[in-house]
Chain A
């Protein structure tokens, strides 16, 4: 057993210092230490999470993000958000459709929230969004959240009478999912490149 040499008065003083240190830490706004986080991870046991648990959790997070973005932009969809910016810029629908690179009926579907932004041609729609001063990061994150949130695979089902058929449906679901993600990613990269690329109004550098 260890014997400590601290006097009672000093003990009291040390306790006060400890309490003040706790308060100082509370006020500092410092995030929890990695040690505290790791300790929670190792000392709390949870039943193993199934892929369905994870999917449900992620869907709930996406829903919260979507609600918050609707609130912060004041628009129910990306299309409506762009529509608001277009109206602020006094641009008519036909001109907007032309700039975005789609026919007017398709553009209307987009503004009404019935066509996702990533179905618009990436290059022209990116330049159009930049002209309307639509924030790139917000748009891309909202697009990615709503794209995954609205994703309903037509194949991911079980055939109760036929195991082989269930496996085939699973494979089709996986392929469809992978294809969708790839398409979205190609669109996203092209969109970023066009948005961040030089504008038609940019003056070429002088020699």
Chain B
């Protein structure tokens, strides 16, 4: 009996045309993908469209899902790529015309980050890649994981302070201080001698 709640087993079964796995694959992730797109400011209708497209691509490319990881993250990554294409194609005026202020502000936020990331010079891209590799390591080594959690939620997941408060139960001022301390720690680590297995150390 196959355990469809186990991601690796589910992926293998989908890949081999198992009908029950196919149904489990669609049923298990559709609501999450819908909500994730709505959280990013998409309307219910657009979120349905994104979730359907994501599951269709996920189903067709299930062989590329790296076993041992979580399907939901892999699918959300595919969905974000579809979102980015829409952010790139849709003008801010169009979003505002739809009268959805949350969507418009989310659009501005995402569009800026996306556009900025795409217009960096090759040297800047290289520097960001190093920064990312080092940061992952420093984050895992940090003694105060709460500070890292706030940095992660604020800069990577792009949650607002009220959202961080809702998630972690931290008041805005406290979250701000944690964010600063988290960044201060990362900066200190960056300025210190690079760890031996970091790309920075290998380069130097």
Interface residues of A (CB under 8 A from B): 1-2, 4, 6, 10-11, 13-14, 17-18, 20-37, 39-41, 43-44, 46, 49, 54, 57-58, 60-61, 64-65, 68-69, 137, 139-141, 143-145, 147-148, 181, 184-185, 188, 192
When distances are taken between beta carbons in the complex, the residues of chain A under 8 Å from B48 are 57
Contact of B30 among A31, A33, A54, A144 (CB under 8 A): A54
The prevalent SS among residues of B at the interface is helix
Binding site secondary structure of chain A: helix
Residue B153 at the A interface, CB < 8 A? yes
Chain B residues within CB distance 8 Å of chain A: 14-20, 22-23, 26-27, 30-32, 34-36, 38-40, 44, 48, 51-53, 55-57, 59-60, 62-63, 70, 72-74, 76-77, 80, 113-114, 116-117, 120, 125, 127-129, 131-132, 135, 149, 151-159, 163, 166-167, 173-174, 176-177, 179-181, 183-184, 186-187, 190
Identify A23's interface contact among B117, B158, B180, CB under 8 A: B117
Are A181 and B19 neighbours in the complex by a CB distance under 8 Å? yes
User: Which B residues lie within 8 Å of A6 (CB)?
Assistant: 180, 184
In the assembled complex, the CB of A52 is this many whole angstroms from the nearest CB of chain B, namely: 14
* Cα(A69)–Cα(B116), bound, Å: 35
**In the bound complex, CA of A23 to CA of B125 (Å):** 9
What number of residue pairs across chains A and B have CB atoms under 8 A from each other? 192
Task: Say whether A24 contacts B177, CB under 8 Å.
Answer: no
Contacting residues, chain A, for B127 (C-beta < 8 A):
20
Interchain CA distance A133-B132 in the complex, whole Å: 43
> Inside 8 A of B113's CB, which chain A residues have their CB?
22-23, 26
Q: A65 near B56 (CB under 8 angstroms)?
A: yes
**CB-contact partner of A25 in B18, B120, B155, under 8 A:** B155
- A28 / chain B contacts, CB cutoff of 8 Å: 129, 132
Give the chain A neighbours of B34 by CB distance below 8 A: 46
Inter-chain CA distance A192–B40, complex, in Å, is 41
Closest Cβ of chain A to B122, distance in Å, is 12
For B125, the chain A residues whose CB sits under 8 A away are 27
Q: How far is the CA of A185 from the CA of B16 in the complex (A)?
A: 10
Known contacts A34-B73, A61-B59, A185-B18; A27/B132 CB under 8 A: yes
Interchain CB contact under 8 A, B128 and A2 = no
The reply to whether B173 and A2 form a contact with Cβ atoms under 8 Å apart is: yes
